[in-house]
Homo-oligomer: A and B are copies of this chain.
Amino acid sequence: MNIGAAAARTGLPSKTIRYYEEIGLIRPARGKSGYRDFADADIHKLAFLGRARMLGFSIEDCRTLLGLYEDESRSSSDVKRLARSHLVQIEDKIAALQSMQATLSHLVEACAGDERPDCPILRDLADG
């Protein structure tokens, strides 16, 4: 299977698939022409990576997860620890964004949004 078909199957852009090969996440075979030739196992790995990325795991986390997935003698505790640590980071990000949202939505509500220059948003930014 060529890279275009692999992209269609996995929903990942071809560029991203090449990038994943470049950084050693996958190792598709090569045909005589030099074209990459994706086996089912490659497609499976790419789909795995796509789902892990959708859950927000970093590339390095994905590498680790793939390693754990392929290691039959893994401990689920290793997977869980990684996932939980990522979950904590997500929750931290949510909290930070919610704090921005709270401040910003108050400011937006307080702003008349008309043709006059007076603006509580700018006032807040200027004077804290």
Whether A29 sits at the interface, judged by CB under 8 Å, is: no
Known: A47-B128, A76-B116, A117-B72. A98 touches B108 (CB 8 A): no
The segment from A1-9, A14-22, A119-127 found at the interface with B is A119-127
Known: A97-B93, A125-B69. A118 touches B76 (CB 8 A): yes
Q: Is the CB of A114 within 8 A of B79?
A: no
Which B residue sits closest to A66, measured CB to CB? B125
* Cβ–Cβ contact A83 & B126, under 8 A: no
In angstroms, Cα B47 to Cα A101, docked, is 20
Q: Are A48 and B126 in contact (CB under 8 A)?
A: yes
Q: How far is the CA of A51 from the CA of B121 in the complex (A)?
A: 11
A58 on the interface (CB 8 Å rule)?
A: no
Q: Which residues of chain A from 76 to 110 have a CB within 8 Å of any chain B CB?
A: 76-77, 79-81, 83-84, 86-87, 90-91, 93-94, 97-98, 100-101, 103-105, 107-108
